[in-house]
Structure formats: C-alpha cells, structure tokens
Amino acid sequence: MKILFYTPLTDAAAWLHDLTRALPGAELREWQPGDTAPADFAVVWRPPRELFAPRAGLRAVFNMGAGVDAILALEREHPGTLPRDALLVRLEDTGMAPQMVEYTLHSVLRYLRRFDEYAALQAQRRWQMLDPHPRETFTVGVLGLGVLGTQVAQAIAALGIPVRGYSRSAKQIDGIATFAGEAQLGAFLDGAKVLVNLLPHTPDTHDVLNARVFSQLARGAYLINVARGAHLVEQDLLDALASGQIAAATLDVFREEPLRPDHLFWQHPRVTITPHSSALTLREEGIAQIAEKIGALTRGETVGGLVDIARGY
C-alpha cells in the first residue's frame, strides 16, 4: 500500500512519523514537486493542484481536517483536478467538538453577562454596574446542525438559554427548535439575539452572513463566526456595527488568513479576534481515524466522512 502525504504546516514531520507508526507495512512518502508516481491513498492538507495530476490508481484522498474548502476550490477552478474514481474523505470530529463547545459557550456567556462591556469600562477606569441580558429573551441561533453544530446547540440549551437550529434538511433535536431550508431561514433568524455560524462553506453558503441576514436579527444582536471567513461579507458587518444592528462580533475565521495588520477588524472596539483557533484537529485522534478508515477501505468496507463534491460537504 502506497500513501502520499502533504501538508504545509510546520508539524509535517510529526504527522508523517505518527502515520508511519499507525500504518505499519505501508509505504509512506512526503510529496515533492515532480512526484507523479502511483499512490493508493493521499493524506493531505491544502495540497497544490500538482499533487493530483496525473495520479494513477488513487483510491481516496483524506483531508487532515473537517473543512475541505481548499480541495473543492481547486476542483471548481480546475475541473478534473481530483481523480474521477477517488473518494474525498474528511475527518469527523477528532476532538474538535469539545473545543468548539468551549469556545462558543464562552462567547455566548460573555455577551449574556456583558463581560465584553465590562472590559471596555475597565479600560476607561469606570466603575459601573450593568444589568445582564434577560436569559429568556437571549435567543441563540445556530446556523448549521452537523456534528459540531448539534453539540454546540445542545450545550447552550443545557444552560437554559433558548436555542434555535438551522440546517439545509430537516432535523429533530430534543429541546431545540429546528428550521430547515431557505423557506424557513427568515423564521429562524427573526429576533434572534445571538447568531452562531457553523455552516459548511459551499457555493450556496458563500457570503451568507450579510446585511439582509443581520437585519432580521434582534437589534443589538451578536455574531459568532467559527465556520469560514468566506461566509461573512465584512463591509456588511462593519456597517451593521456602526448602525447598532449588531452590537458586537467574535470572529475566529477570515477571508484572508493570517488577517493582515491593517485590517479594520483589529482596532474595532466591538470585534473580538482569535486566529482560527476555536477547534483544532488533534493529531493523535486524526491519525487514528485516518488509519482506521484506510484499513476499512482496504477491506472493502464503507467509511463515514465521505464528501459529496457536487454539494460541497
């Protein structure tokens, strides 16, 4: 079994070392420009187009994370980049869900108890008591009810905070009001006080966080974007912050990463920035999942995490 490996990340050597231990007997090699030799499987993160073409006999491409945006962007820009018969497989959770729950709960509670405003008051050396937002009207809407979105919605609801969830197709989750499809998006947004974005990035969800969406939230709503930067129309958010329609935003993802030093978000008093760190792929869990799925495919079994290239997730 021949496995091709590529990542531009600084811990490439550690991944390659641990993959070798997890897949004894496999022939692993790190891709280098000009390498067109056959491979059965590829384990990659943000690979260049040249890695795929030509690549005879490739059975599956394993993405070292849940988001397959970079690979799908290559396929959209250069149709046929992915070998026709190769499966595209994403990682499922790998320790990301607890991290995402922690990040999102922190952000929601920070706004509920107005700790962001207390931080601003401290900077001004002002001693001022602020009433917390009424919990019963502090409705949180979770855009995207996949593995991560469902666990985030359930964790918030467990605190007694009203929660709504939105997905492309209908889902039932105990204790959570669910909405599905474009026809129900308006009802999902109507009057929500916090909008948490956990949608996959597809052509249909590009620019989904825009002025029209913001206008349907409660005035003075909060935005938490932990999905993809391409979901957000940045100028629409800046305009909504200026008008007061959006009170504050927590952003973990951006259209351009790293965020350039002169970007307006850096110095905006109502924007909180983190460097795409809300939920990281844990190497040990990721490698165990990849090794298990490669073994299953080798035995002719089915695996989870298959990506529908046409739908984008």
Q: Hey, which residues are catalytic here?
A: 228, 276
Handedness of CA 276, 280, 283, 289 (dihedral sign): negative
The rounded distance, in Å, linking the Cα atoms of 117 and 128 is 10
> What six digits make up the tokens of 299?
């035995």
Q: Which H or E element spans position 90? A: strand 87-90
The residues pairing with 66 across neighbouring beta strands, listed in sequence order, are: none
Do residues 76 and 58 make contact, with C-beta atoms less than 8 angstroms apart?
no
> What six digits make up the tokens of 254?
């951006």
**Helices in 248-301 by DSSP H: which ranges?**
283-298
The rounded distance, in Å, linking the Cα atoms of 239 and 236 is 5
In the chain, the amino acid numbered 92 is E
Do residues 88 and 71 make contact, with C-beta atoms less than 8 angstroms apart?
yes
Angle ∠(197,123,100) on CA atoms, nearest 5: 25
> Which residues are within 8 A (CB) of 124 and not within 5 positions of it... i.e. 6 or more apart?
none
Closest by CA position to 199, among listed 187, 182, 177: 182
Exposed, middle or buried by CB within 10 Å (0-12, 13-18, 19+), for 86? middle
Helices (H) and strands (E) in the chain, counts: 9, 12
> What six digits make up the tokens of 150?
């469902």
